[in-house]
Amino acid sequence: MGLSVGFDTPMVTATEDVPIENVEGSKRPRVQTSPPGFSGSSYLHGALVQIDTDNININFTKVSDLIDESTNTWKASLIQSIFRPDQAEKILCIPLPSHVQHDSLFWRYDQSGIYSVKSGYRCLTDSSFAPCTTTAPIRLPSQRLYLSLWSLDLPAKIKIACWRFCNNYIPTAINLINRRVNVSPLCTLCTNEPETLEHIIKECTFSKQVFSVLHLDFSLVSAENRWLQWLSHLFEQFSESERILFVLTIWALWFYRNRKLHENYNQSPKDLAGFVQCYLMDIKASYESHGLQFGHPIVHLQPPPVGTVKTNFDAGFNSSNKSSVSGIIIRDSEGLVLASSTYPNNFISDPEVAEARACEQTVALTAELGFR
């Protein structure tokens, strides 16, 4: 048996191999959410692998039978009478489009929505991608890391260098050897172990001494995690000031490593830590000279050009009752409020859906008011 993902295809389809179980003296089928060949997958976000139904009604055989066409909403009472409460809640939290539209194919492992061999290969080999058998929204561990990295009050060259570290886009000795470049495999900083990305940051004795002088503690994050996962967890544990210091330090370590390799320049871990602290003080002084507060970027809302309007929206999410409230405000080039509105929403599964619903309601409101 399979649970259909389309609106007009059968919701439950009986086959000869469907087991009939004797439960509390009565026979009932166990409805599988996994289609043949995809054992273990689930079509309900966060649901169990199997859906047990006590009340199977042959009058409701399609997903579209569970949708009220007049309001384009789920038939809550019907769904709650068919499915268990926890499963009914998950179904009711599946968002429906505000207008009827045809289904379309979308590859959710690439922002373009189009499948490519490259993205398919990354999906299979990169652990940062969510498993293909789940329908849960993709939440790459690198997303929060990159957002946090680019928001740091540091020069662009330092953040770009850190981004290269995140993706292993730096010419470490092992990376060069893998590209058939004849170099020594040993770490330039400690000369004890092969020079890999993770070694430079997590294992090198020289780097450990530098981080120790700067009081950057990695013990809260498991060293067994893969590189990008480890770095993401580290950023979550660190405060804003610690993130800035960490990013600046790994840039300084790589900068010193190159000078030592190509210029035979030597420096102690304590001296390198002192360079990092002095560089950070110079950055702070530069911010203060321009009247800015370091570590707390000032965001000014810019008015739209004359003759246009600007719409801002936000959403508040209540996880206890799976509801949200969308807030919308529309202003002109002089900052005058032209319209504002709030929308309560029920059966919202998570904050991302709440934000998406707010965006959809914003587009609908602006179109209703005649703004183009």
- At residue 138, does pLDDT exceed 50? no
- The pLDDT, as a whole number, for residue 46 is 43
pLDDT surpassing 70 at residue 52: no
Whether 368 has a pLDDT exceeding 70, the answer reads: yes
Residue type, 287: Y
**Cβ of 77: how many Cβ atoms within 10 Å?**
9
> Tens digits of per-residue pLDDT, 168-217?
899 999 999 999 999 999 999 999 999 998 999 989 999 999 999 999 98
SS3 194: strand
State pLDDT tens for residues 340-355.
999 999 888 888 889 9
β-pairing, 337-346 vs 323-331, is antiparallel
Measured in degrees and rounded to the nearest 5, phi and psi for residue 337 equal -80, 120
Q: What average pLDDT does the segment 270-290 reach? A: 88
For residue range 65-78, what is the model confidence (pLDDT) as tens digits? 888 888 888 888 88
Can you tell me the distance from the alpha carbon of 363 to that of 372, in angstroms, rounded to the nearest whole number? 10
Residue with the larger pLDDT of the pair 125 and 298: 125
Structure token digits, residue 238 = 């660190």
The pTM of the full predicted model, rounded to 2 decimals, is 0.48
pLDDT of residue 295 exceeding 50, the answer is yes
Q: Domain extents for the chain? A: 20-92, 104-139, 151-289, 310-368
